[in-house]
Amino acid sequence: MAARIAAVGNRHFRAHDLNHYSARILVLLLQHEELRAGELVGILALPQSTISSQLQALHAKRLIRRRRSRLDSRSVILTLTPAGLELARDCDALSLRVHQAVLDALSKREKTAGLAFLRKVNDSLLGLQSQALHPFHGPAQLQRLSEAEKPAAAARRKRPAR
């Protein structure tokens, strides 16, 4: 569903060289007036590197302003520029229109069941978030496997073709 929603929005965002993530950032800044970069990482549940590249692109397009916090110089505070504010309003309006169109296609019973389903999925995922679900191989184990593969690969290259 997230990919379908992104596809609907991306068709509109392309004219401004935006994507789904950058549009979400603009709308969040519209809603909060200012946010720290770290807060966006928490809200969007995206890697810091993804947020950083999105912020660089938005800043280069002069849609956002970045300034260091007076209280903590490591913290970057983000706000919208006038152009960013207008584009954020457009992104928000599109989001609301898509949201309403989806809801209009559902009966009251479907909405109630869907909401209950999403709550249950969310609760389940929240519970899984802190659990060790699968014993991944450690970096040292994978390194040993890679090193053991090197002589075998070299031997395969030395064999004459039949």
pLDDT in tens, 37-56: 889 998 998 899 999 999 99
Task: State the virtual CA torsion across 28, 34, 38, 41 in degrees, nearest 10.
Answer: 0
Tokens of 10: 């991306």
Residue 157 scores a pLDDT above 80: no
Q: Are strands 64-68 and 34-36 parallel, antiparallel or unpaired?
A: unpaired
Average pLDDT of the residues in 58-87: 90
Q: For the stretch 88-100, what's the b/e string if a residue is b when 16 or more beta carbons lie within 10 angstroms of its beta carbon?
A: bebbbebbeeeee
CATH of domain 2-108: 1.10.10.10
Q: Using one digit for the tens of pLDDT, what is the confidence trace for 81-90? A: 999 999 999 9
Q: Using one digit for the tens of pLDDT, what is the confidence trace for 78-116? A: 999 999 999 999 999 999 999 999 999 999 999 999 999
CA dist 44 and 118 (Å) reads 17
